[in-house]
Amino acid sequence: MLNQYLKAWKDGISYNRHLLQTNMAAIAFGQHNQKYLLHNIFNELRHHRERSKYELTSRAVKDEMDVAIAEARAFNADKQYQVTRKHQNRAGNMIRDAFGKRLHSYFAKWRDHTLSYKQTMNIKVKSRIIHMYNNYMNSYFDHWKKNAHIKVRRHKAALGDSMMEQNEKLQNEVLEGEKQLRI
C-alpha cells in the first residue's frame, strides 16, 4: 500500500508538475498573444494617426491649397503673357529702329530705279508698242483695201444673180401668159 501511496504521491507530483508546466505554457502563450495583440494595436494606432494626418492635410490641400494653386497658375500665366508681349514689343521696336534708316535708303534706291525704268519704258518700249500697234492696224486696213474690190465683185455678182433670177421669173410668166392666150 505504501507503494500505492508512493505511486499516488509521485503521480500527484508529476500531475502537479504537468499542471504547472501546462499553466506556465498557457501563461507564456497568453503573454506572447498579449505582446502580439499589443504590437498589432500599436501598429493600428500608428496607421490610424498617419491616415488621419493624411486626410487632414489632403482636405486642407483640396479646400485651401487648390484655390491657392489655381491663383498661382493664373498669376504665372498672366505674367508669362505680359513678359512675352513685352519681349515682342521690344523686338518689334528694335527691328523698326534698325531697319528704319536702311529701309528708307532702299525705298529711295527703288524710287530712282523706278524713275529710270519709267523713262526707259516711255522712250523705248512705249514707242515700240505704238509702232507695233500701228503696224497691226495698218495690216487690217491694207487687208480691207485689198479685199474691197473682191467685195464689190461679190456684190455685183450677187446683184447679177438676183437680176437673172428675176429675168427668168419674168420670162416664165410671159411664157405662161402666152400659153393662156393660146388656150
Tens of pLDDT, residue by residue over 11-43, are: 888 888 888 888 888 888 888 888 888 898 899
Of how many residues is the chain composed?
Answer: 183
Residue 166 in any domain: the answer is no
Query: What does the pLDDT look like over 96-139, one tens digit per residue?
Result: 777 766 766 777 777 777 777 777 777 777 788 888 888 888 88
Residue 23 in any domain: the answer is yes
Range with lowest mean pLDDT among 70-84, 124-138, 155-169:
124-138
**What is the amino acid identity at position 163?**
M
Cell numbers at 109, concatenated: 534706291
Residue 168 in any domain: the answer is no
CA–CA dist 182, 166 (Å, integer): 24
Residue 175 in any domain: the answer is no
Q: Containing domain of residue 32, as a range?
A: 1-134
Residue 33 in any domain: the answer is yes
The stretch 158-178 carries a mean pLDDT of 88
Residue 110 in any domain: the answer is yes
CA–CA dist 164, 167 (Å, integer): 5
Residue 148 in any domain: the answer is no
How many domains are there within the chain? 1
Q: Of 147, 168, 169, 149, give the one whose Cα is nearest residue 157.
A: 149
Residue 87 in any domain: the answer is yes
